[in-house]
Amino acid sequence: MVDELTGDTRVAVVVVGAGPAGASTAYHLASVGIDVLVLEKAQFPRDKICGDGLTPAAVHELILMGVDTTGWNRNRGLRVIGGGHTVELEWPDQKSLPGYGMTRARATLDHELITRAVQVGARLVEGATVTAALQDSSGRVVGVTAKIGKGAHARLVEIRADLVVDCGGVAARLATSVGIEKKPERPMGVAARTYFRSPRGDEDFMESHLELWSGKPGESDLLPGYGWIFPMGDGIVNVGLGSVASTANATKLPYRQVFETWMRNIPEEWGFSEAHQIAPLRSAALPMSFNRSPHYTCGLLLVGDAGGMVSAFNGEGIAPALKAGRFAAQCIAQALSRADRRGVDRAMSQYPQMLKAEYGGYYQLGRIFVSLIENPRIMRLCTTKGLPIPRLMTFVHKLLSDGYERAGGDLDDRIITALTRLVPSA
Ligand SMILES: Cc1cc2nc3c(=O)[nH]c(=O)nc-3n(C[C@H](O)[C@H](O)[C@H](O)COP(=O)(O)OP(=O)(O)OC[C@H]3O[C@@H](n4cnc5c(N)ncnc54)[C@H](O)[C@@H]3O)c2cc1C
């Protein structure tokens, strides 16, 4: 979109960042006629380091955004490999979730999602880096300052808004600038990915490898994480690995070395030679289990990675970002109808409540899961003894991919729901 910002722009809602969180928030706001401005520091199409995997939970959100996914690469489920076993787990067709997943390169996906938001009326300014929050004398966030453009042509603008949404990803620059720090005792992941051309790039299962060794395979420790090979279609695969730790300080994964060791053990038919590698191996952090909160305070909301919404079970962050954006927009729409700030805050207090109801217990289970698999002996037990038990793996598949029905459903769904209620909310 053309940069039409003046020195003193005023909008109902300003959204910082146009990743999945920002696009979803903006789409759902604009679709009920709310004036929403999205500021994005990059220019689209832009890349984002990611596995590009979309579970049924993410597909569910794409459907609610009316995104046309004709021709997108679909998959039937997950093939899990470890401890000498290979298990194929189809995505279950649920009441509330479709029985398929997808892969979509983020350079394309994110552009398509924000374009969808613009189609329904959101305004987007690219090349706009938000530098700070504007606060009134009570500390309430009443807008942002942004640097538009680069170099000699850069200029600073102030944008005032009734509500400000930080969708700026793991750095959460805006939230940090007003003192909302990340919680070091929550899980944090680190992951790295690259792309290869491969004769198996059109397969319809995403593959997950549970044996990532800290050193020599079989003679060192199993890392708490997994390697993935996600077919993207058109003869391309996204290949990467990730590891998780129960605190923010413990993710010093020597990922290049682990990646090289893992690659040496991948079957040749994948064709993972240097000549077929079409992108560098690059890494980024995954903020998990609500590692930054409050998700609403004094005019400012956090959505997606900015609010630490990645699942510690599988490293998935797109579905939670899209869903939280929808929740945020619902609450904002109500809040903007209130007569004064107290009313706005009362309506907005629903947003963290909705997040807790949806993910609070589930993310707490994720924290327990991480603290268990951090023990290499437990990780080994899971791969050697757990994987070959089909009944157990059907349950684990639903649990790890957030593929369970929150209400009703079968025995597995009810057990997972009961477990999420037994633990305190994350
Ligand atoms: C290696 C790796 C693999 C992963 N694989 C998967 C996967 O397969 N499936 C999955 O679901 N999740 C995966 N994730 C997690 C997923 O990438 C994130 O959870 C997801 O991108 C979060 O979306 P978001 O919109 O919150 O943030 P982002 O996608 O990071 O978007 C933030 C946006 O804000 C912009 N921005 C930042 N600061 C500013 C600023 N100051 N001013 C203006 N704009 C700003 C950025 O340019 C960016 O466009 C993976 C993560 C990693 C690191």
What digits encode the pLDDT tens for the residues 254-309?
Answer: 899 999 999 988 999 999 999 999 999 999 999 999 999 999 999 999 999 999 99
Report CA(230)–ligand 1 centroid distance (Å).
18
82-92 CB burial, b ≥16 within 10 A, e <16? bbebebebebb
Please tell me the residue having the least CA distance from ligand 1 atom 41.
130
Please tell me the residue having the least CA distance from ligand 1 atom 33.
17
Please tell me the residue having the least CA distance from ligand 1 atom 38.
168
Per cent of the chain over pLDDT 90 is 83
pLDDT digits (tens, 9 = 90+) for 231-261: 999 999 999 999 999 988 766 788 999 999 9
pLDDT digits (tens, 9 = 90+) for 115-124: 999 999 999 9
Report CA(188)–ligand 1 centroid distance (Å).
14
> Relative to the CA of 170, which ligand 1 atom is closest?
30
Strands (E), 67-218: 73-75, 77-82, 85-90, 101-103, 123-126, 128-135, 141-148, 155-166, 188-197, 205-209
Report CA(286)–ligand 1 centroid distance (Å).
9
> Relative to the CA of 46, which ligand 1 atom is closest?
49
Q: 316 in ligand 1 pocket by Cβ < 6 Å?
A: yes
Cα separation, 302 vs 309, in Å, equals 10
Q: Say if residue 7's pLDDT is above 70.
A: no
Is there a contact between 41 and 130 (Cβ–Cβ < 8 Å)?
yes
What amino acid occupies position 229? I
Mean pLDDT of the chain: 94
Residue carrying structure tokens 């060791």: 261
Q: 191 in ligand 1 pocket by Cβ < 6 Å?
A: yes
What's the pLDDT at 250? 63
User: If pLDDT is split at 50, 70 and 90, which confidence band does 2 have?
Assistant: very low
Pocket perturbation via mutation, ligand 1, pick of 3, 46, 286 by most ligand atoms within 8 A of CB: 286
Q: 173 in ligand 1 pocket by Cβ < 6 Å?
A: yes
User: If pLDDT is split at 50, 70 and 90, which confidence band does 1 have?
Assistant: very low
Residues 8-75+103-183+288-363: name the CATH superfamily: FAD/NAD(P)-binding domain (3.50.50.60)
Q: Report phi then psi at 387, rounded to 5.
A: -55, -40
CA-derived radius of gyration, the chain: 21
Q: 147 in ligand 1 pocket by Cβ < 6 Å?
A: no
By DSSP bridging, strand 101-103 and strand 53-54 are: antiparallel
User: If pLDDT is split at 50, 70 and 90, which confidence band does 3 have?
Assistant: low
pLDDT digits (tens, 9 = 90+) for 73-114: 999 999 999 988 999 999 999 999 999 999 999 999 999 999
Of 41, 73, 87, 305, which Cα lies nearest the Cα of 191?
305
pLDDT digits (tens, 9 = 90+) for 405-423: 999 899 999 999 999 999 9
Pocket perturbation via mutation, ligand 1, pick of 318, 323, 401 by most ligand atoms within 8 A of CB: 318
Q: Say if residue 180's pLDDT is above 90.
A: yes
